[in-house]
Amino acid sequence: MRLVLVGPPGAGKGTQAQFLAAHYSIPHISTGDIFRANLKAGTPLGVQAQSFMDRGELVADSVTNEMVKDRLTHDDVANGFLLDGFPRNVAQAEVLRAILAEKATPLTAVLELSIDDAEIIGRLSSRRTCKDCFQPSVGVDKCPLCGGDVYQREDDKAEVIARRLEVYAEQTAPIISFYRNEGLLITVSATGKVEEITEHAISALSRVS
């Protein structure tokens, strides 16, 4: 199973990615993890990425593409993978298609988590993050895991969330049309209980796996 997971911020991609990766026994590959691994190891790609970050700029697509390409050569992807956070635009989607074509291992499906903007704003603006273990929670005064103090992140404030959704619509949503045209898109509602969303996703993916 070779999957790409897409959806707006607050759709629950990180949570669903963990459950789906475990269900299919495939690695959950996020661009954040790839960046951190390269930065920690001081790889040439990590050094390039750091130079962009030090200037306060987004890491160039060319660097991100090479990091993902390298990650997809690891042994643990032999039976598939779940990509979370990549591709973020059509240009990256085309690069991913070319990378997988070289290996003769095309994508199985692209799973879109669909949710209304109003629900996302309500969900994220009520989220609090632990100052100690960084675990996000909703409607709590103390972290349920470690008991630490919680706070509202700047990017969880309603006005910031609205802007994040605008950026998503401008930059990332076009890949949904791209993958729909490729015949790879499967859309699942991200509204409801976590386990129900997971069940719906697995049921929908069973038709293509």
Name the residues annotated as catalytic.
13, 88, 127, 153, 164
Rounded CA-CA distance 76/95 in Å is: 21
What length is written for the chain?
A: 209
Rounded CA-CA distance 164/169 in Å is: 9
Given its phi and psi angles, is residue 89 left (phi above 0), alpha (psi -120 to 50 degrees) or beta? beta
Handedness of CA 117, 121, 122, 124 (dihedral sign): positive
Q: What are phi and psi of 194, to 5 degrees?
A: -55, -50
Rounded CA-CA distance 126/156 in Å is: 8
